[in-house]
Chain A
Amino acid sequence: MLTSLVDAQGRKQAALELLVRYIRIVDDPRRLAEWPDLFGDSAEYVVITRENHERGLPIAVIRDDTKDRIIDRVTIIKNFWGAGGRAEDHHYNESWPRHIVGPAWVEFTESGEARLGANFAVYATVQVDPEPRLLALGEYQDVVDFSGEIPKFKSKKVILDTSVLQDVFVYPL
Chain B
Amino acid sequence: MAESVEPPRFDLARRIRWPQEDNKIPREIFTDPDLFRAEMDGVFTGPVWVLVGHESEIPKPGDYKTISMGAAPVIVIRGANARVSVLVNACAHRGTRLVEGPSGNVLRGGFRCIYHMWTYDTDGRLIAVSLPEDFPQEFRKEDYGLPRARVDTYRGAIFATLNDDAPPLLEYLAELTGGLDKVLEDGALEFLGSIRVIFRANWKLYVENIYDGYHVTALHTGFQVVRLRSHGGERLVPNYERNGHLWGRSRSTPVNQLTPALRDMSLFDTRTKPTTDHNMMVVFPSGVVTDYFDTIQMRYVIPLELDRTQIEFAFFGRQHDPEEARLHRVRQGPEVLGPAGAITLEDAAALERVQLSATARGENVVLKGTPKRFPPYRHVDEAPIRHFYQAYRRLMGFHSDDH
In the complex, are the beta carbons of B264 and A128 less than 8 A apart? no
Chain A binder among B71-79, B137-145, B333-341: B333-341
Interface residue? A5 (CB, 8 A): no
Contact status of A52 and B264, CB under 8 A, knowing A62-B334, A83-B346, A92-B345: no
Interface size on A, residues (CB 8 A): 39
A81 within 8 A of B: yes
Residues of A with C-beta under 8 A to B219: 82-83
Contact A76 B198 (CB under 8 A): no
Give complex CA distance A167, B352 in Å.
Answer: 11
A82–B219 alpha-carbon span in the complex (Å): 7
Which of B196, B261, B345, B352 is the most central at the interface, judged by chain A CB atoms within 10 Å of its CB? Answer: B345
Tell whether, in the assembled complex, residue B102 and residue A163 are in contact, meaning their CB atoms are under 8 Å apart: yes
Which residue in chain A gives the minimum CB-CB distance to B265? A72
B330 & A58 in contact (Cβ 8 Å cutoff): yes
The answer, yes or no, to whether A105 is at the interface (CB within 8 Å) is no
* Residue of chain A at shortest CB distance from B104: A55
Query: Which B residue sits closest to A92, measured CB to CB?
Result: B349
A24 within 8 A of B: no
A/B pair count, beta carbons within 8 Å: 118
Chain A contacts for B352, CB-based, 8 A: 93, 128
- Tell me the bound Cα distance from A52 to B350 in angstroms: 28
A41: CB under 8 A from chain B? no
Flag the segment in B4-12, B220-228, B380-388 that touches A.
B220-228
Stretch at the interface among B158-166, B187-195, B236-244: B187-195
Whether A83 and B350, one on each chain, are in contact in the complex, defined by CB atoms closer than 8 angstroms, is: yes
Question: Would B198 and A83 count as touching, CB distance under 8 A?
Answer: no
The answer to whether the Cβ of B153 comes within 8 Å of any Cβ in the partner chain is no
A76–B267 Cα distance when bound, in Å, is 11
Measured between beta carbons, the chain B residues less than 8 angstroms from A75 are: 261-262
Is A71 part of the contact surface with B, judged by Cβ < 8 Å? yes
Complex: A63 Cα to B195 Cα, angstroms: 13
Report Cα–Cα, A83/B221, bound state, in Å.
8
- A-B residue pairs, 4 tightest by C-beta: A59-B193, A82-B221, A57-B193, A80-B222
Residues of chain B whose beta carbon lies under 8 Å from any beta carbon of chain A: 101-103, 191-198, 200, 219-222, 225, 261-264, 310, 315, 330-331, 333-335, 338-340, 342, 344-346, 348-350, 352-353, 356
Sample 24 A-B pairs with CB under 8 A, ordered by A number.
A52-B194, A57-B193, A59-B192, A59-B193, A59-B330, A61-B334, A61-B338, A61-B340, A75-B261, A76-B342, A79-B221, A79-B222, A79-B261, A81-B345, A81-B346, A82-B219, A82-B220, A82-B222, A83-B349, A86-B221, A167-B197, A167-B200, A168-B339, A170-B340
